[in-house]
Amino acid sequence: MANADLSKPSLEEEARIIDSLIDNGRSAIKVFSTTDQSRVDEVVTALAWSLYKPETAQRLAEMAVIDTGIGNVKDKVIKNQRKTFGTLRDLMRVRTVGIIEPDNGSGMTKYGKPVGVVAAITPSTNPAATPVNKSMMAVKGGNAIIIAPSPAGWGSTNATVQEMRAALKLVGAPENLVQILPQPVSRTLTRLLMEKADLIVATGSQNNVRSAHTSGTPAIGVGAGNVPVVIDSDADFDDAATKICASKTFDNSTSCSSENSLVILDDVYDQAIEALKRAGGYLANEAEKQSIADTLWIEGKLNRHLIAKDADIFAVGAKLPSEAGNSRFFMVEENEFDPNSLFVDEKLSLVVTVYRAKNFDDAVKRVTDILDVQGKGHSCGIHTNTPAHATRLAEEIDVVRVLVNQAHTFGNGGSFNNALNFTLSMGCGTWGGNSISENLNYKHFINITHLVTSVEEDKPTEEELFGRYFEKYGRG
């Protein structure tokens, strides 16, 4: 499916490419439309196995790191398998085609139907896991999907798509249920796809998300991450530090759910810092902090030579002492909150910013301040043994997800020990400029027809509806 000639095609040629892909997808949907739920589930399982298969998960992880230069192979293998396995679990438990909700006396029967051809914008951070994740959800709803990958990840994403197409062929399903944009992937080509598709699901840069929302096609975008996590006075410090380290370092912090700031209560600040050091954290002094600032950002933009790199490589690139390279992640302290500080933002690296909060009120304010700069709507977390403090974050912070005593990267996109759907795309609500305030899941890939029949009249009296109002304010 790749073009041998990578010279940029004309606008007319790009339009023909997109028309052909869309036509292929519609034809595949038509063929697939006669299948029942059992058959759909069989095909979705085939897509899952195409990446979950150990040798394939390994090969595509290796390709991803070679192609993009970010993350690490070991963790990408885990991501390829864990996300795929968890998503398959979720999808096998729901109905999406035919009658998805029978009439149980309500007078309503619900039918699931495809949304059509889905344009899936996928990031370089997950060039295998995200395309398979979205393809499974799309095909579960009887749709076709066209992947528009990051140019940097095209090679590994294309290899992933070819694995999915081979799996479709093996089980006798239309291969064109899953397609990919050919090289060279351009903004124009991606934009044309957005305009011609029936639904866009955009994960990755906020430029892509904004473009999706202005395309004229129904679009689901996800917001930027910049996760702050509170370490409370009564937290289990070693447990919190171990989870933070595992989460922060996973795939070298490529996840939008990775901790970017820690807000530690003043009365336990030193204890928490020592626990973080024991877990593998390196606390930078002021000179080292300045060196990180001077090297992690170049003219205000993240340095692609340092983001998502192993700790030893980062330490050398940031000109840190040799002992820093033996650590697993790096902590920089911010004595005061400065919304213009580079360290407030998402860092896409093994660097976490540490703030000291005078009390829990101050911690809540600090989390709010951080998210007001970047990451509003996405998520935050807390390590605590005071449930009321977790509840307060949920009540006061404008985020979709608040995780309690969890490794954020592993819990935020779904886990086997929490109730969130497995996904690689986190909706951030209107706070983050998104239309969904939950994890992307199968529901976003189906249309629903409601068959409505008459039932016994359910009409309350005027007094039942207005009575309490009348008593308080009268009828005037």
Strands 144-149 and 117-122 turn out to be parallel
Where helices occur in 374-457 by DSSP H, the ranges are: 387-396, 408-412
**Type of residue numbered 60:** L
Where helices occur in 6-104 by DSSP H, the ranges are: 11-32, 37-52, 54-68, 73-91
Task: Cite the beta strand spans of 305-433 per DSSP E.
Answer: 329-334, 351-357, 377-383, 399-404
Strands 281-283 and 259-265 turn out to be unpaired
Where helices occur in 201-262 by DSSP H, the ranges are: 206-213, 237-249
Strands 117-122 and 351-357 turn out to be unpaired
φ, ψ (nearest 5 deg) of residue 204: 130, -140
Whole-number Å distance between alpha carbons of 449 and 452? 9
* Low-confidence stretches of the chain (pLDDT beneath 70): 1-6
Whole-number Å distance between alpha carbons of 271 and 282? 15
Per-residue DSSP letters for 99-162?
Answer: EEE--SSSSEEEEEEE--EEEEEE-TTSTTHHHHHHHHHHHHTT-EEEEEE-GGGHHHHHHHHH
Query: What integer pLDDT is reported at residue 206 of this predicted model?
Result: 85
What are the tokens at 430?
A: 């209107």
| 227-419 maps to CATH 3.40.309.10 | yes
Spatial CB neighbours of 404, under 8 Å, sequence gap ≥ 6: 381, 382, 383, 384, 387, 390
Query: What integer pLDDT is reported at residue 332 of this predicted model?
Result: 98
What are the domain boundaries of the chain? Answer: 11-222+440-451, 227-419
Catalytic pick among 245, 256, 380, 428? 256
Q: Is the dihedral of CA 369, 375, 379, 382 positive or negative?
A: negative
| SS3 label, residue 341 | coil
What are the tokens at 229?
A: 């996590």
Q: How far apart are the first and last CA of the chain?
A: 72
Q: What is the DSSP letter of 324?
A: G
* pLDDT tens, residue by residue, 238-278: 999 999 999 999 999 999 999 999 999 999 999 999 999 99
Place of tokens 């930078």: 284
Asked if residue 220 lies in contact with residue 201, where contact means CB atoms within 8 angstroms, the answer is: yes
Spatial CB neighbours of 51, under 8 Å, sequence gap ≥ 6: 57, 60, 80, 81, 84, 128, 129, 132, 160, 163, 164
Spatial CB neighbours of 172, under 8 Å, sequence gap ≥ 6: none
Q: Catalytic residue at 256? A: yes
377: left (phi over 0), alpha (psi -120 to 50) or beta: left
**Type of residue numbered 9:** P
Place of tokens 């896991």: 129
| SS3 label, residue 439 | strand
Fold designation for 11-222+440-451: Aldehyde Dehydrogenase; Chain A, domain 1 (3.40.605)
Q: Is the dihedral of CA 85, 70, 131, 212 positive or negative?
A: positive
Which residues partner with 245 through β-bridges?
Answer: none
* pLDDT tens, residue by residue, 155-200: 999 999 999 999 999 999 999 999 999 999 999 999 999 999 999 9
Q: What is the dihedral of CA 424, 429, 432, 433, to 10 degrees?
A: 110
* pLDDT tens, residue by residue, 334-377: 999 999 999 999 999 999 999 999 999 999 999 999 999 999 99
